[in-house]
Structure 1
Amino acid sequence: MSTSTDSPPVRPRRDRRPVGPLVFLLVLALAALGVWWKVLADAGVREEAAEAACATAAEAPPSLDPTTLSVRVYNATDTAGLAQTVAAELQARGFVVDEIANDPTDREVTGPGEIRHGPRGNDAAGYLALFLPGAGDHLDTRATAQVDLVIGPEFDRLASPEEVAATLTPIASAEAAC
């Protein structure tokens, strides 16, 4: 008797999952996650840079037309004629100088000078401060927009027009970024 069957031999059943495609999908998912992580991080950096630029623009002194500013130049030093020299230079740059004299107050001025103004003169004082870096700021109770530039004992010179322009250029680009 023969025990042969016409059916093919039975193969063992494969219960394993396809490992290759699963590994490929896992790598693909990790790569996509990495790309999105980078995109979101870059968006955060751009947002922080925009916020910093807007903060810089908000804190920056205004860019004004000097012909619209009314300035009084006072000398608080022992150097005779210094207020006249500074006033002439400011007039050459377009400022309107209303008065030139020795400092009429008893305030002690230190450093290169002091800029005195009332609340209405905040913008003008900020702009004038570009021309005398390191000058102190003194807010008083005057009701006008007039600004006093008081020359102090450490006064060397006014900032050059190029230095003022160099200060205002990054501010203009920061304002454009907002």
Structure 2
Amino acid sequence: MTTLRTERPTVRARSGRRPLPPIIFLLVLALIAGGVWWNVFHQDAELQAEQDAACAEAEAAPHALDPATVSVRVYNASDQGGLAQSVADDLGARGFTIAEVANDPTNREVTGVGEVRHGVSGKSTAAFLALYLPGAGLWQDVRSTQQVDLVLGPEFVIGESLATDDVVDAALAEADEAAAAC
């Protein structure tokens, strides 16, 4: 009896090598995916930090107050005569309570258009008043009341330096919108 032999393909002997190109490809792909995820998380952290800073700034922004509740002393620290009275008349017409009008009683040097002096409890009142004098600095002193001083500097120009009610309202609206976004 004869046995038929079927032909089988020859089996190659294993050489012991691993498939290196697919492993390298998978490693490169894993590195790219890790880089993408790191970038996403890094950008998210930056955006969160920016939002936190914007919200902190919005909290510090001045809030609308009734001008009748703001007591202001208007001081002239410039060489222009009658400047404090002119500004006091303008602020009084806008509803502010004018407590005093005089030359600056301190020896503090004022630069620019002026500064708003206040105590710890008058910080928000001073920020509100500073909206009316763009470019004015804020100076905190030791007073315990909400009384604020508007000190007019050498660069103050009558009719130009005080902000209009529309400009102040726009600044307050912008601050309210920023606070609402937080």
TM-score (norm 1): 0.72
Equivalent residues in 2 for 1:1-178, closer than 5 Å? 5-13=4-12, 15=14, 29=30, 32-58=33-59, 60-65=60-65, 66-99=67-100, 101-103=101-103, 105-111=105-111, 112-156=113-157, 157-178=161-182
State the Cα distance separating 1:64 from its structure 2 match: 2.8
Change (3 A) 1:22 1:121: same
Measured after TM superposition, the shift of residue 22 of structure 1 is 6.6
Q: Number of residue pairs matched?
A: 174
**Unmatched segments (≥5 aa) in structure 2:** none
Query: How many angstroms does 1:127 deviate by?
Result: 1.9
Structure 2 CA distance, aligned partners of 1:103 and 1:28?
74
Distance (whole Å) between structure 2 residues aligned to residue 139 and residue 56 of structure 1? 19
Q: So what's the TM-score if we normalise by structure 2?
A: 0.71
Deviation at 1:11, TM superposition (A): 2.0
Q: RMSD in angstroms over aligned alpha carbons?
A: 3.5
Kindly provide the CA deviation profile for residues 60-116 of structure 1, in whole angstroms up to 9, marking residues without a partner as x. Answer: 3421313321112223334333223212322333322233x2226142442222322
